[in-house]
Amino acid sequence: MKCDIVLAGVGGQGILTIAAILGKVAVAEKIHVKQSEIHGMSQRGGSVFAHLRLSDKPIFADQITAGAADLVVAMEPMEAMRHRANLSATGTLITDQTPLVNINDYPELPKLLDEIRALPHSLLLDTTALAKESGNPRNTNIVLLGAIANFIGLDPAIIEKAIAAHFASKGQAVVDAAIKAFQLGKDAR
């Protein structure tokens, strides 16, 4: 088992939460894990990304080389395209279709979405609608975590337990909504 994942978004969208949950699952399952993250501009709405490497064999580097990622997962389309160079030829790009327009020259959304659809392996999700359906509109990152679960070879029930533990201090309603968001993302195609 080996899966190299690039997670990308804008500060505050929950990229580091996805990485933290998957990292805890890997440790619990005795899977080797390396994580590297860049989040210096996150307080200003800047780009945030993390490299997450999972393997049943030892991992010696925490960075994923260009063209080697099995998954590029983004919280919004422009960040997906910014990191597509990391994607391997057989890798999959997963992204929310809703932009976070935080710059004046944000690309035209229809063209951006067409570029994503033109990739050999891509999955565009309406995480906003799915998060609302889960009962907590802030769960867009957990919806993406559900989509990730279909590609990484880890037991979804174990990921659900890690989600529950991560959000336990916020109350059962928050945990239930997060689990539902995970399931909705896992079932989205």
Question: Which run of H or of E encompasses 53?
Answer: strand 47-55
Q: Which CATH class is domain 2-187?
A: alpha beta
Radius of gyration of the chain (CA): 15
Domain ranges of the chain: 2-187
Say how far residue 65 (Cα) sits from the centre of its chain: 18
pLDDT digits (tens, 9 = 90+) for 79-126: 999 999 999 999 999 999 988 877 788 889 899 999 999 999 999 999
Give the predicted TM-score (pTM) of the model: 0.91
Q: How confident is the model at residue 10 (pLDDT cuts 50, 70, 90)?
A: confident
State the alpha helices, DSSP H only, in 90-170.
Answer: 109-117, 127-134, 140-149, 156-167
Q: Which residues contact 67 (CB under 8 A, 6 or more apart)?
A: 85, 86, 87, 88, 89
Under 8 Å CB-to-CB from 118, ≥6 apart: which residues? Answer: none
